[in-house]
Structure formats: C-alpha cells, structure tokens
RNA sequence: GCGGGAGUAGCUCAGCUGGUAGAGCGACAGCCUUCCAAGCUGUAGGUCGCGAGUUCGAACCUCGUCUCCCGCUCCA
C-alpha cells in the first residue's frame, strides 16, 4: 500500500510537471533541492486558491482586514518571538557511526539512565521493606539515591548554563565528561557541537562592513503582531478583530522533501484573530469550525480531512490543533489552528517598550488581547488539490483518460472553446465566442487534432468546461458545453453561455454557503 | 550528513561480450474527419548528467564529481 501511495505521489509530480503546474527550480542547472516553480497552470490555480481564501476571510468578515508586511523585519522581532532561541538546536555528530544527534537530547538520555538507576533502587527497597515502605522518605534519605540525584542536578545545571550562554564547547566537554557513547556505534568519538539555526539569515546593507545580519521571516505571523497597533488604530478596529496575510516564509529545514509539502521557501495564508482574554477558547472552537467548513466547501472530499489535536503545545500556545489532509503520504498537516494566548504581543511589548494593548470601553480598561491563529500552507493546499483532483479512469467505451478533477471555481482555465473542425468558418465563430468569454474568464482556444484528443488535453489540465462550435452553431447560434467530470454535453444558445459559465465557475456560489 | 537507487529526445524507456544513438508517446506543419486519445504524410529535437582515465575506438569499463529519488537523523 505504501508502495502504491509512493507511486501516486510520483504520478502527481510527473503530471504536474508535464502539464505546466509545477517545475523543479532551476532545472536546467540540475535543479535545486526542495525548491519548485509554479508554471502557467500552477500559478493560476495558486492565485485562485489565494483569492478564495482571501475572500472567505477578509471580504466576508467585516472585522477582518488584510495586511502585506515585509519579509525583512527588525532582528529583535525574532528575539521577541522566541525563534532565535527556540529555533536553534545544538547538534553533534559521531565520527564513527556518522550519526547526528541533538547534543541536549544525548545529555537528557544520559540523565534518564541515571533516573533509571534511582528507580531500580526504589524497587529493590520496596521489596525489602514491604508494606511499610515510604517512597518519599526513601528518596529523601537514601545515600545512594541522593548521590544519583545530585549527579542529575549538576548535569542539568551545567547543560542549562552551556545552552543559555551559547557555549558549545562546554556542551561538548560535558558530553565527554559524562562518557556518553553513541548508542549505535558505542563510540565516544564526537565532533564539535555545532549550532543549527533553522532561520535563514542574510546581510542588510550593501557594504559588507556596515552590514547587519537579519533573518528571512520563518512565519508571516510576526508581521501581523508588530502591526497590531497600526491596523487597530487606523482601521478603528474593535476587539474581536482579525488581520489576514498571505506571504512567503522561509525555514532552513534539515531535510526538505516530499515535493511541495515541505519546502525551504513556502507560502502561508495566516489570520491572527485578537480576542478578549478569557474568550479565547470560545473563539478557538469558532475558528476550528469555520476553517474546516471552508475546506469542505472547496470540494476535495470531506472524508479527506481530519483534526489532530496537539498534546505537546509549543511555547506560546494554550490550545492547538491541525487540520490534516489525506495526502499520498498519508494524513499530514494542512492547516494549524492555535490559541497563542498573549505570548506574542506581550513579548513585543517587552522588547519594544511599546504598549500593544486595546482599550475596552465596556470594561473601561486596557488589556493585551489574546490571539487565535489560523495558518494554512498554500503549497500544501495546492498539493491537496492535486492529490484530490488527479484521477485515472476507464470510460464506458473502455478507453482511459487522466483527468484533473479540480473544483471549477479554482481551475486554472475555466473554458476551452473548440471548433469541431478547422474549416467551414467554425474557427472564426469560435474566436468570436472566445473573445466574449475571455473578458471575464480564463479561457483557451484549440483547433488542432481530433475533437476527442482536444477534450482529453483539457481534462489533463482540469478545464471544467469545453464549448464546441459545430455546423449547427452557424445555423442557430447554439453550441455544446461539455462537463469535464461526467462527459455530458448540453446544447445551449450562445447568448446564455456567459451566464451559464459564470454560474458554474463562480466563487460567489461557494462564498454564499459560508 | 549516512545508507540505497537512478541520470540516454519534452515524457516513458531500449541500446548485446566497448564499434560512434533508436522506439513509442508527445510537440510542430499539413491531410483526413460533423463530438470523446492511439488514421496518413512530413519536420524539429540528444556533446547519452559532468570531468578525467583505459582503449585504435566509450552511452557501455575504471576513478572522481554533481544532481535527483527513497529511507534515517531535525522541525514552531
């Protein structure tokens, strides 16, 4: 089964490239790992996804407004957000086994071993003393146990100091002093401890000397937080309100794989919703429901979604869940919904010295709002669409076709206009229709090859409707309109065409259901 | 980074024990066709990932190197 799913992802990747959705980055130079370019069809689909999200979030909610913050931000932003500290991992390699470990994890494992020894002592003692055994007292008094405990405490102390002072050499010395061996090779032959920062840094300022190091944002959210006051004041926003943003973010993943699922450069669609402290759980539930509802509207199949509630919460959250999608690799995170408390705004208050508060006239007092975040990976959403849309099917006549069943509202091309034959004035008539439709819809024209072949070509890129001009068109101004998914054709008057197409491909009909 | 696999036309691949590159599909031009791919004719497209070595001669053998894919290690 895993094999089959692998094949599905491979097929999707191949199809996406073959039909101009996604190309490997810099392909003529052998490509760049985990970077991809969106081709002529990909960019249309991506724009449509953005637009559907933006309309659902901003246009449909009078208390949500948009923002487009800079990717470059003041370096202190990332200190405040916790990324400079939490996004750093001290890594160490074993020279013999060539395995890489997190230095702090190695030390913690060592501590766990000592704790194991304590537990053994306790077990032994419990047997010895029987019912009269008092664990607390034993732990507090037994000499051997106390020895172990003080060992643990001193290791913890040294590790904490080393990490906090960024002293990687100390960390290595600690590993050596403890005699920690690689669990794989048993070797104690370690490299120096190195810091891996998952944020991309670059130089601001063209003169190397005067340049200062800044980061490419690892999430778009901070651009929203630092603009909280600007937007709240200039937009006269009242709590609760939200700020939405679509933009690129960058993370230096150690491995970035699985096509566009995990890239180092990716695009997020985030909305931070500011609420009164105490109301956050209610709003958390509200956005969980609203967001899953949005996904289901998109029409990729309700059975392909599920929630995954987080048990281990990040440093800033008091509740968090993922909306997972059934990708070829299995159910994986597509969107995250987090209750971020007042962590971010408070942190920015502390680092900036500015008050990031809202004056609540009802309560007659100011407070730092709590935040509910909805954050969806646009590229992952794109992959979800490809996954759900990619279909290989056998038709009733026994022939096979590959069709992208992309929901009409987000399909790259809405209508293909096709003259049945490339003669008898049919192309001219078709062009007339095309010129009319293209004012409002993304259209394409094709007169090459047999009509059946042209239908299949449109199926492959997910064009939901094909309008075919035949000889009857010249007599009574009717055309056939073909449905991509069920292959049904209907003959309608050209004058009805615009309204009909508009109805079929409109985002409006989706938005109405929100 | 380690281990494994793979790089030949746009795609899928063939190419024998070394003799100087092919097929199908696709694309393009045209013919034929009044409605669901695979009818006909023609055209374009490859320094066989890159570099070196062995050889009279390398897509093929040797070494190096790069890239991609899969697995492992990390991930707010």
Tell me: the pLDDT tens digits for A189-205?
A: 676 676 666 788 888 77
In this structure, are A183 and A332 located in the same domain?
Answer: no
User: Does the pLDDT value for residue A184 go beyond 80?
Assistant: no
Number of domain units in chain A = 3
**A455 lies in which domain range?**
395-511
A252-308: per-residue pLDDT in tens? 766 666 788 888 888 999 999 999 999 999 999 999 999 999 999 999 999 999 998
| Residue A204 domain-assigned (yes or no) | no
In this structure, are A299 and A378 located in the same domain?
Answer: yes
In this structure, are A350 and A445 located in the same domain?
Answer: no
C1' (B30) to CA (A457) span, angstroms: 21
In this structure, are A64 and A93 located in the same domain?
Answer: no
- Chain B nucleotides with an atom closer than 7 Å to a protein C-beta: 1-3, 7, 10-12, 26-29, 31-39, 49, 66-76
Burial class (CB in 10 A: 0-12, 13-18, 19+), A162: buried
- Strand stretches in A349-501, DSSP E: 358-360, 365-367, 370-377, 390-394, 400-404, 415-419, 443-445, 465-469, 478-483, 489-493
Contact A459, A473 (CB under 8 A): no
C1' (B35) to CA (A473) span, angstroms: 13
In this structure, are A70 and A138 located in the same domain?
Answer: no
In this structure, are A70 and A94 located in the same domain?
Answer: no
In this structure, are A263 and A385 located in the same domain?
Answer: yes
A208-222: per-residue pLDDT in tens? 565 688 888 999 999
pLDDT confidence of residue A69: 96
pLDDT confidence of residue A1: 33
In this structure, are A4 and A120 located in the same domain?
Answer: no
DSSP summary character for residue A28: G
The complex's ipTM works out to 0.81
Give the nucleotide nearest to A26 (CA→C1').
B67
Which of A344, A360, A393 is the endpoint of a domain? A393
| Residue A447 domain-assigned (yes or no) | yes
In this structure, are A225 and A299 located in the same domain?
Answer: yes
C1' (B68) to CA (A32) span, angstroms: 9
Report the Cα A393 to chain-centroid distance in Å: 30
Give the nucleotide nearest to A257 (CA→C1').
B69
Taking CA A342 as the corner, what is the angle to CA A337 and CA A348, rounded to the nearest 5 degrees? 115
C1' (B41) to CA (A451) span, angstroms: 20
Taking CA A479 as the corner, what is the angle to CA A474 and CA A484, rounded to the nearest 5 degrees? 150
Q: How far apart are the C-alpha atoms of A452 and A160, rounded to whole Å?
A: 69
User: Does the pLDDT value for residue A56 go beyond 90?
Assistant: yes
pLDDT confidence of residue A2: 35
Contact A336, A317 (CB under 8 A): no
Task: Return all residues near A471 (Cβ < 8 A) that are at least 6 apart.
Answer: A420, A424, A426
In this structure, are A177 and A218 located in the same domain?
Answer: no
| Residue A202 domain-assigned (yes or no) | no
Count CB-CB contacts under 10 A for residue A370. 25
Give the nucleotide nearest to A2 (CA→C1').
B70
Give the nucleotide nearest to A259 (CA→C1').
B69
Q: Output the average pLDDT for chain A.
A: 86
In this structure, are A244 and A157 located in the same domain?
Answer: no
pLDDT confidence of residue A433: 94
Helix/strand/coil for A307:
strand
Which of A346, A374, A393 is the endpoint of a domain? A393
Which of A139, A172, A197 is the endpoint of a domain? A197
Q: How far apart are the C-alpha atoms of A243 and A235, rounded to whole Å?
A: 11
In this structure, are A270 and A380 located in the same domain?
Answer: yes
Instruction: Provide Rg for chain A, Cα atoms.
Output: 30
Burial A128-161 (b: 16+ CB within 10 A, else e): eeeeeeeeeeeeeebeebeebbebbeebeebbee
pLDDT > 70 in chain A, percent: 90
| Residue A3 domain-assigned (yes or no) | yes
| Residue A208 domain-assigned (yes or no) | no
Q: How far apart are the C-alpha atoms of A510 and A514, rounded to whole Å?
A: 7
């Amino acid at each position: 089964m895993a094999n089959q799913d692998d094949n599905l992802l491979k097929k999707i990747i191949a199809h996406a490239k073959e039909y101009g959705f996604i190309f490997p980055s810099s392909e003529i130079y052998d490509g760049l790992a985990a970077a991809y370019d969106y081709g002529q069809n990909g960019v249309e689909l991506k724009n449509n996804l953005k637009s559907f999200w933006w309309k659902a979030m901003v246009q449909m909610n009078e208390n949500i407004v948009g923002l487009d913050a800079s990717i470059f931000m003041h370096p202190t932003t990332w200190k405040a957000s916790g990324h400079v500290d939490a996004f750093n991992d001290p890594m160490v390699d074993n020279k013999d086994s060539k395995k890489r470990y997190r230095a702090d994890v190695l030390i913690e494992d060592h501590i766990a071993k000592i704790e194991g020894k304590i537990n053994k002592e306790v077990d032994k003692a419990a047997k010895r003393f029987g019912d009269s055994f008092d664990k607390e007292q034993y732990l507090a008094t037994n000499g051997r146990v106390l020895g172990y405990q003080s060992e643990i405490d001193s290791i913890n102390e040294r590790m904490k100091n080393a990490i906090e002072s960024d002293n990687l050499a100390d960390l290595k010395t600690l590993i050596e002093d403890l005699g920690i061996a690689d669990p794989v090779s048993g070797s104690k032959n370690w490299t120096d401890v190195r810091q891996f920062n998952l944020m991309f840094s670059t130089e601001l300022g063209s003169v190397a000397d005067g340049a200062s190091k800044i980061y490419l944002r690892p999430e778009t959210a901070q651009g929203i937080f630092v603009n909280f006051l600007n937007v709240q004041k200039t937009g006269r926003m009242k709590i609760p309100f939200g700020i939405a943003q679509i933009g690129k973010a960058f993370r230096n993943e150690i491995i970035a794989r699985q096509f566009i699922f995990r890239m180092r450069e990716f695009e997020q669609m985030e909305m931070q919703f500011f609420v009164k402290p105490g109301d956050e759980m209610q709003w958390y539930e509200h956005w969980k429901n609203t967001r899953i509802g949005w996904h289901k509207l998109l029409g990729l199949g309700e059975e392909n979604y599920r929630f995954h509630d987080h048990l281990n919460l990040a440093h800033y959250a008091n509740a968090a869940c993922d909306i997972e999608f059934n990708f070829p690799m299995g159910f994986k995170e597509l969107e995250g919904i987090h209750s971020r408390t007042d962590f971010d705004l408070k942190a920015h208050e502390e680092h900036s010295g500015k008050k990031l508060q809202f004056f609540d006239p009802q309560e007659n007092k100011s407070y730092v709002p709590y935040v509910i975040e909805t954050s969806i990976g646009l590229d992952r959403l794109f992959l979800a669409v490809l996954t759900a849309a990619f279909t290989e099917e056998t038709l009733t006549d026994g022939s096979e076709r590959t069709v992208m069943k992309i929901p009409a509202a987000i399909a790259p091309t809405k209508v293909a206009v096709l003259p049945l034959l490339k003669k008898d004035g049919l192309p001219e008539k078709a062009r007339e229709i095309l010129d009319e439709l293209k004012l409002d819809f993304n259209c394409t024209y094709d007169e090459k090859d047999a009509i059946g072949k042209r239908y299949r070509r449109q199926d492959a890129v997910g064009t939901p409707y094909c309008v075919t001009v035949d000889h009857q068109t010249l007599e009574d101004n009717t055309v056939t309109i073909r449905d991509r998914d069920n292959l049904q054709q209907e003959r309608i008057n050209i004058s009805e065409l615009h309204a009909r197409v508009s109805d079929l491909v409109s985002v409006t009909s989706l938005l109405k259901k929100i």
